[in-house]
Amino acid sequence: MNTARTAADHPVVVQNLTKRFGRFVAVDDVSFCINRGEVYGWLGPNGAGKTTTIRMLLGLLKPTSGAVQVLGYDPAREAKKMQEHVGYMSQLFTLYNDLTAHENIRFYGQAYGLSGARLRQREQEILEMAGLRGREHTLTAELSGGWKQRLALGCAIVHHPAVVFLDEPTAGVDPISRRQFWDLIYGMAGEGVTVLVTTHYMDEAELCQRVAFLSEGKLIALDTPAQLKATQMRGHVLEINCSDPEQAMQVLQAARARGQMLFDELAFYGAQLHAVVPDAEAFKQPIHALLQDEGVEVHDIVWIAPTLEDVFISSVRPAGQ
């Protein structure tokens, strides 16, 4: 595994990675590899093991067992050498609020060993990338969330890393800033930078070239978004458009509690309900009739292709829960 060719083709390689904290297994026998220049999504509920995995990839935690290679380095033994080539950004935007944008970039550049003309060049490139021209002397505390986000990314990549780990980097940022941020991610990937990103936003997961689902420390699905939707969905998805989705949810859940098995999974999706059923044609009419009988006006119930959110819920939740 520790060869120059493997590191070039697959900058991140993980084999049977496990991390235990006492009896608790945070990461359970996980294996995957990431291609050069790939945007790789890492999804899972809180506590699924996403951040723990990233911390092991960065060398901040030692695995209980298994093997990790990042650019040919073993993070558990060679973290210091590896860090020259790796960038990391967390959802906390690890910036110094009492420094200006310019001072934050300079601080992180010097921390990564940049100086002189190279540091000055990177300062200008980061300011341009982050859209901070004219605000370079503004205190970071006074910047909006979107500007802070792009500044934090700039500080994380000031040293031109070959691999970047982004741990929920868009949490709490407005949709326009999120979209601008993803433009920057794909700009980096286009230059050959490998990106691993965790996110709770399904629209962002759709933008990843491959997506991994993690649940209770286990890797339960890994593929392109299109293939996940084609192969990982249990049953069919009925989209229920009705006058009162909350009442419809209560009616259907009550029916299930009485033993009337009308769905495998049920979840809100915007102003609609998505019900996962074994067979769309067989279950459409009974659901419609039940809701109408209980006073819920049904506008329509249609069989739709699953969204990635449907697939995610289906993958991480045992059938029937």
DSSP per residue over 18-42, as a string?
EEEETTEEEEEEEEEEE-TT-EEEE
Q: 259 φ, ψ to 5°? A: 100, 5
Query: Could you tell me how many helices (H) and strands (E) the chain has, helices first?
Result: 12, 13
For residue 108, is pLDDT > 60? yes
Shared domain for 206 and 295, answered yes or no, is no
Shared domain for 31 and 165, answered yes or no, is yes
CA dist., res. 148 & res. 170, Å (int): 11
Mean pLDDT of 160-178: 87
pLDDT at 117: 95
Under the banding of pLDDT at 50, 70 and 90, the label for residue 10 is very high
Under the banding of pLDDT at 50, 70 and 90, the label for residue 47 is confident
What residues make up the domain containing 26? 4-229
Shared domain for 213 and 101, answered yes or no, is yes
Quick one: what percent of the chain has pLDDT higher than 90? Answer: 71
pLDDT tens profile 48-75: 899 999 999 999 999 999 999 999 999 9
Shared domain for 223 and 238, answered yes or no, is no
Under the banding of pLDDT at 50, 70 and 90, the label for residue 15 is very high
CA dist., res. 49 & res. 42, Å (int): 10
Shared domain for 122 and 26, answered yes or no, is yes
Domain count, the chain: 2
pLDDT at 218: 95
Identify whether 313 is part of a domain. no
pLDDT at 124: 93
Residue 280 belongs to domain with CATH number: 3.30.70.940
Following DSSP, what letter does each residue of 83-128 receive, concatenated? Answer: HTTEEEEETT----TTSBHHHHHHHHHHHTT--HHHHHHHHHHHHH
Mean pLDDT of 180-190: 91
Q: Which two tokens stand for residue 146?
A: 């979107």
User: Of 229, 260, 282, at which residue does a domain stop?
Assistant: 229
Task: Round the average pLDDT of the chain to a whole number and report it.
Answer: 91
Under the banding of pLDDT at 50, 70 and 90, the label for residue 7 is low
Mean pLDDT of 5-31: 91
pLDDT at 169: 86
Identify whether 92 is part of a domain. yes
Quick one: what percent of the chain has pLDDT higher than 70? Answer: 96
For residue 172, is pLDDT > 80? no
pLDDT tens profile 139-167: 999 988 888 888 999 999 999 999 999 98
Under the banding of pLDDT at 50, 70 and 90, the label for residue 318 is low
Q: Which two tokens stand for residue 125?
A: 């490139």
The secondary structure of residue 12, as a DSSP letter, is E
Identify whether 23 is part of a domain. yes
Mean pLDDT of 82-90: 92
